[in-house]
Amino acid sequence: MLPELAGAVLVLVQFDVCEEIRLDRLGMILGVPTVAQQPTLKHSVPGYVRYERPPIFQPLEEVVLPSGERLSGQIKYYDYGVLSVTFQLPFTGNWNRLTALASRWVWDVDFVAHADRIVREKIKGAAAAIINPYAEFLSEDYLIFHAQDISGTPSATQLVMESGGRIAQVVRGDTLDLAESEIAEVMQSRISYYATDLTVVGWNAAFLYDTVAGAEAAIQLLEYANSQLLEFRHYDELLTRELDKVYKQLKGGTGTLARWRLARSATRLHTTLLEVAELTEHADNASKFLSDMFAARLYKLAATKVGVLDYKDLVTQKVRTAEELYRFMVDQFNQSRGFFLELTVVVILIVELLLFFLGKPF
């Protein structure tokens, strides 16, 4: 007989909607406080995750899927321009039911479409707090399968030994038995603090075995990691567009007049670099880990699996390329300016000589 599980399935859907959200204005518009409760710790040391500007929470109306499943939800507004929608469904059943649900929700249900309608409606009502909205929204979705109770109350070690294959199926969203090598790959991304809790992180889903209070911080760290992925995807696209413009202009030639026109492009590129640096620092400082090495390890694991570090490396490489191009354009412009100044001096000397030989005062 298969063990029975009880808990909840959470769907995180996040959108990068604007450059910044003024949380003070938003709080007044929504009539909600602008200071959110900080997540709790697994142990007594205070300060798990500290937001520089805590996000604003707002409950959502119940969402009914075509299957008849009724989801509760909430939306969070982050000051760095990300809106995060969370749908939640209580769950009870055995592993077969959970793997079937995971497969259907991971691959068949378009949660982004459901959340997109909600987000666009909310943005209209909060327009006064939205700074520089984007024409198109980047999005990321992530599923968390939280098992609060499992029959027999196994330890984390027992759960991995007895149900590691099932956990891997849930994280991968697959109903077929996985190969041992694939199970081992999934289970490499596991972490525990106590003997009775377990977190297994995948690129698009995670499995948690913990109490409600214990899972709260892990859920927020997974949410934060996905929001950072979203931000770095935005920076990557922004830099790609700007670099394409510069490359096209440089292909047009590097004559004297073309070099002179590089000044405007160099200024625009430098402005983009400053914006990326500011927004990157803004996102990095949104959450700080204080006095809790487990939180830092869990976040690093989550960031690695969902792709934050990969996109951050891409952005860093493009920033370096953009800086080199900026220096090159500035050098080209300075050469053109120097040539113009030299030409001006020569013209003035020629005019003076002509006037001198003609006997006319200059």
The pLDDT value recorded for residue 45 is 35
Among 208, 178, 173, residue whose Cα is nearest residue 102: 173
Report how far residue 118's alpha carbon sits from residue 15's, in angstroms, rounded to the nearest whole number: 11
205 pLDDT band, cuts 50/70/90, is: very high
| Residue bearing the bigger pLDDT, 319 or 191 | 191
- 3-state secondary structure (DSSP) of residue 218: helix
Q: Which whole number is the average pLDDT over 12-16? A: 96
Where are the alpha helices (H) located in the chain, listed in sequence order?
23-30, 95-107, 111-125, 156-172, 180-187, 212-251, 256-284, 293-306, 308-357
Q: What is the mean pLDDT of the chain?
A: 84
pTM: 0.82
Burial of 76-103, coded b for 16+ CB within 10 Å and e otherwise, reads bbbbbbbbbbbbbbebeeebeebbebbb
pLDDT (mean) for 12-37: 85
Asked if pLDDT for residue 46 goes beyond 50, the answer is no
